[in-house]
């Protein structure tokens, strides 16, 4: 006990607790001084003994928020002993540099293999507006036409329940900022598939294994070093097994690990950071800023269903 302080008698402490609960705006330090009790003792009794949250002192607010701030989607592939997930995005339909043939080729591969699924990473539409970086005068399709073309292109995967999630990218967000609507939400609704407006956690059930995949479109430049730093920082937001982003048009895979408690032991939880590619040829924008050509396609993610083992190849 601090020098010179005598313990409060039960009556003093009870009176201080009662006063603090009835006057939650009064700082506990003032109450403790007035009733001659230790501040730490008063804080412990006011908070630990409070019958409900409304008695908690204003200086220690309840930080609990509503559940599902980050949407969670479960994808069930228990019938498979392995699943190959293709994080496809940065398609930019409508751009003069959009590579329709390559896009069709990748979609066809996923469609024809039952152990493959698609995870949509955003920027499916180019959405060139008059005040955007993209050149509205060189667009080859309107947003509406490109949107409904995308619906028909993705329908075979949706019909076989192998389209895991669609999210928009910064290009579709141009529409959302201007009108409040999202064309990718329209696509997801037309196909009856999962949609998230910004980011999400997708839980894959493969065989008897479970994998948590955090996904968002991404941000920043395509410089390799900066991209790698941003990818690794994803684990500071949510703990998962894999982190998937797009946006940079550069395929990259990094491996990391964090320590995690398992019973009385500390174990390593292996993590993969994955950045997808795109379906654009070399753009004038990229040439103007000295950026490297886009990496056509995307990495392949392999989730083992017999043991906890995730790999990504580019």
- Tens-digit pLDDT profile for residues 104-148: 999 999 999 999 999 999 999 998 765 555 555 467 788 889 999
Q: What is the mean pLDDT of residues 279-297?
A: 75
What is residue 158's predicted lDDT score, i.e. its pLDDT? 98
Most confident of 41-55, 78-92, 122-136: 78-92
- CA distances, 25 to each of 13, 32, 57, 153, 162 (Å): 18, 14, 8, 60, 54
Task: Name the residue with higher pLDDT: 50 or 76.
Answer: 76
The tally of CA atoms less than 13 A away on the side-chain side of residue 109 is: 13
**Beta partners for residue 258, in sequence order:** 269
pLDDT confidence of 6, banded at 50, 70, 90? low
Q: Kindly give, in sequence order, each residue whose CB lies less than 8 Å from that of residue 264, ignoring residues fewer than 6 positions away.
A: none
Is the confidence at residue 151, as pLDDT, over 80? yes
Q: C-alpha angle 148/149/154, rounded to 5°?
A: 95
Length of the chain: 314
Cα separation, 165 vs 214, whole angstroms? 11
Is the confidence at residue 50, as pLDDT, over 80? no
What is residue 131's predicted lDDT score, i.e. its pLDDT? 57
Contact by Cβ (8 Å): 117, 85 = yes
Most confident of 7-21, 30-44, 93-107, 290-304: 93-107
Task: Name the residue with higher pLDDT: 291 or 183.
Answer: 183
Is the confidence at residue 222, as pLDDT, over 80? no
- Take residue 231 and report the two structure tokens written for it: 């990818």
Per DSSP, the three-state class of 164 is: strand
What percentage of residues in the chain have a pLDDT greater than 70?
Answer: 83
What is residue 44's predicted lDDT score, i.e. its pLDDT? 76
Query: Which strand ranges, in their side-by-side order, compose the sheet holding 72-77?
Result: 72-77, 199-206, 209-216, 242-245, 265-275, 252-262
Mean pLDDT of all residues in the chain? Answer: 85
What is residue 49's predicted lDDT score, i.e. its pLDDT? 47
Look at the domain 72-313 and name its fold: Purple Acid Phosphatase; chain A, domain 2 (3.60.21)
What is residue 56's predicted lDDT score, i.e. its pLDDT? 46
Is the confidence at residue 55, as pLDDT, over 50? no
Residue with tokens 């302080």: 5
Q: What is the mean pLDDT of residues 225-251?
A: 84
Task: Cite the DSSP H helix spans in the chain.
Answer: 10-22, 28-35, 39-48, 100-112, 143-159, 172-179, 183-191, 224-233, 284-288
Is the confidence at residue 283, as pLDDT, over 90? no
Is the confidence at residue 23, as pLDDT, over 80? yes
pLDDT confidence of 211, banded at 50, 70, 90? very high
Burial of 258 (C-beta count, 10 Å sphere; 0-12/13-18/19+): exposed
**Per-domain residue ranges for the chain?**
10-55, 72-313
What percentage of residues in the chain have a pLDDT greater than 90?
Answer: 54
Is the confidence at residue 59, as pLDDT, over 60? no
What is residue 65's predicted lDDT score, i.e. its pLDDT? 60
Contact by Cβ (8 Å): 162, 115 = no
Record the pTM.
0.76
Least confident of 36-40, 64-68, 125-129: 64-68
Task: Name the residue with higher pLDDT: 48 or 73.
Answer: 73
What is residue 2's predicted lDDT score, i.e. its pLDDT? 42
Q: What is the mean pLDDT of residues 81-101?
A: 95
């Amino acid at each position: 006990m601090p020098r010179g302080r005598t313990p409060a008698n039960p009556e003093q402490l009870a009176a201080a607790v009662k006063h603090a609960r009835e006057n939650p705006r009064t700082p506990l330090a003032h109450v403790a001084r007035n009733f001659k009790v230790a501040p730490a003792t008063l804080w412990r009794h006011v908070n630990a003994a409070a019958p409900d949250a409304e008695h908690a002192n204003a200086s220690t607010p309840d930080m609990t928020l509503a559940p599902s701030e980050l949407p969670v989607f479960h994808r069930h592939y228990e019938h498979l002993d392995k699943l190959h997930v293709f994080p496809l995005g940065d398609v930019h339909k409508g751009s003069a540099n959009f590579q329709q043939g390559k896009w069709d080729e990748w979609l066809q591969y996923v469609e024809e293999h039952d152990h493959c699924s698609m995870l949509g990473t955003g920027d499916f539409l180019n959405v060139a507006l008059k005040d955007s970086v993209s050149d509205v005068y060189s667009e080859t399709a309107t947003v509406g036409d490109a949107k409904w073309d995308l619906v028909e292109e993705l329908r075979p995967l949706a019909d076989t329940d192998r389209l895991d999630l669609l999210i928009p990218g910064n290009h579709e967000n141009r529409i959302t900022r201007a009108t409040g609507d999202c064309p990718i939400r329209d696509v997801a609704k037309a196909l009856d598939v999962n949609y998230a407006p910004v980011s999400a956690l997708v839980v894959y059930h493969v065989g008897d294994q479970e994998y948590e995949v955090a996904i968002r479109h991404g941000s920043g430049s395509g410089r390799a070093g900066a991209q790698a730093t941003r990818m690794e920082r994803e684990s500071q937001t949510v703990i998962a097994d894999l982190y998937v982003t797009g946006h940079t048009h550069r395929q990259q895979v990094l491996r990391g690990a964090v320590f995690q408690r398992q019973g009385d032991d500390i174990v390593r939880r292996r993590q993969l950071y994955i950045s997808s590619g795109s379906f654009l040829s070399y753009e004038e924008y990229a040439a103007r800023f000295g950026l490297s050509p886009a990496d056509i396609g995307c990495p392949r993610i392999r989730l083992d269903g017999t043991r906890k083992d995730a790999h990504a190849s580019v």
